Amino acid sequence: MSNDLSPLPLRHRPARRLTQLMVGLIAFGASVALLVQSGLGNMPWDVFHQGLSKVTGLSLGVIIIIVGAAVLLLWLPLRQRPGIGTVSNVIVLGLATDATLFVLPAAQHIAIRIGYLVAGVLLCGLASGLYIGARLGPGPRDGLMTGLAARGLSIRFARTGIEVAVVAIGFLLGGTLGVGTVVFALTIGPIVHLMLPWFTIGGPSAQRPEERPDVVDKQPGLLEGREMPAPGHVGPADDPVTPLHNGARRDQLGLAREHGDAGGHVDANPRGQA
C-alpha cells in the first residue's frame, strides 16, 4: 500500500471509490450512534455535537450537518479545496447518525453499554479506513486541521488544540465526556492504521499495466495478455531471416515450397492472430 492518501481524480476507479466512500460514511455515522447510546463517553467532536443538540433541541444528526457546513466555511481563508468526499461527509454522516439512533435500542445494562462502546470504536476504525482510503477528499474537520498545519502549526498541535477546545465547550453544554472518550482517543489511531492498508486505493501508477486504461489504449495487445513490441522493434515473427525455432522454421519453409511459394515467404502468424 502507498502511504500517499492525497485525493485522486474522480475518473480513477469511480464506482469502487464512491461505493467505498458511502459505505464508510454510513458506518461512521452508525459508530457515532453506538458511542452515544453507550452513555460512556463520545468521540471528541461528538461531545460538542451532543452539547449543542441538548441546548438547541435539534437532533444530533442535524447538528453534525450544521457544524460540518460551518467548519467547511472556515476552509475558505485557509485556501483548502474540498472534494466530493468532503461534501458527502457533511451530509451523509449526519443522516446515518440519526437513522442509526432511530433503530438502535437504548442500553440499560452495563454489559450492553460496554458492548456498544467496543463495537462503536471498532466500527469507527473500519469506517475511517474505508472513507479515507477512497481518497475523495478529507472530512471538513480533518481539513481544518491540515489547513492550519499548512499555515505553520504542527499537525499534533493543531489536532490537539482543536479537539481539546471542542471537548471542553461540549462538556460545558452538556455533552457526555467519559471513559469512552479516553478509550476512543487511545485506540482509534492504531485501529485506523491497521485498516488503511486494506482499503486505500492506489493511484494509476500503482496498477498493473493491463488495469490502466491509458496504457491499454496505447497498447491493445495487453488486453489479450500479449506484450507489444516497442516502436521500431523487429521481433522474431517479423524478421524472415531470424528463426523462431530452427526445426520449426525449416518445416515451415518446406511447406511453403510444397504450396508453390517461389519466394519462400512464410506467414509468421499462421493462425491469423491479430
Query: How would you write 22-44 as a 3-class SS string?
Result: HHHHHHHHHHHHHHHHHCCCCCH
Residues 6+ apart with CB under 8 A from 146: 80, 138, 155, 158
**pLDDT of 259 above 70:** no
| Count of structural domains, the chain | 2
Alpha-carbon distance 56 to 43, whole Å? 20
Q: Please tell me whether residues 121 and 155 are part of one structural domain.
A: yes
Q: Does residue 2 sit within a domain?
A: no
Banded pLDDT at 59 (limits 50, 70, 90): very high
Q: What is the pLDDT of residue 207?
A: 52
Alpha-carbon distance 200 to 160, whole Å? 25
**pLDDT of 88 above 50:** yes
Q: What does pLDDT average to over the chain?
A: 81
Q: Please tell me whether residues 158 and 237 are part of one structural domain.
A: no
- Give me the percent of the chain exceeding a pLDDT of 90: 58
Q: Please tell me whether residues 125 and 225 are part of one structural domain.
A: no
Using the 3D structure, point to which of 148, 173, 207 is the last residue of a domain. Answer: 207
Tell me if 210 sits within 8 A of 216, measured CB to CB: yes
| Three cell numbers written together for 37 | 447510546
Banded pLDDT at 224 (limits 50, 70, 90): very low
Tell me if 95 sits within 8 A of 63, measured CB to CB: no
Q: Please tell me whether residues 81 and 186 are part of one structural domain.
A: yes
Quickly tell me which residue has 481563508 as its cell: 77
Q: Does residue 131 sit within a domain?
A: yes
Alpha-carbon distance 229 to 8, whole Å? 31
Q: Please tell me whether residues 179 and 254 are part of one structural domain.
A: no
Using the 3D structure, point to which of 174, 191, 207 is the last residue of a domain. Answer: 207
Measure CA 61 to chain center: 23
Q: Please tell me whether residues 236 and 151 are part of one structural domain.
A: no
Q: Please tell me whether residues 173 and 219 are part of one structural domain.
A: no
Q: Please tell me whether residues 163 and 203 are part of one structural domain.
A: yes
DSSP for residue 104: S
Residue 33 lies in domain: 14-207
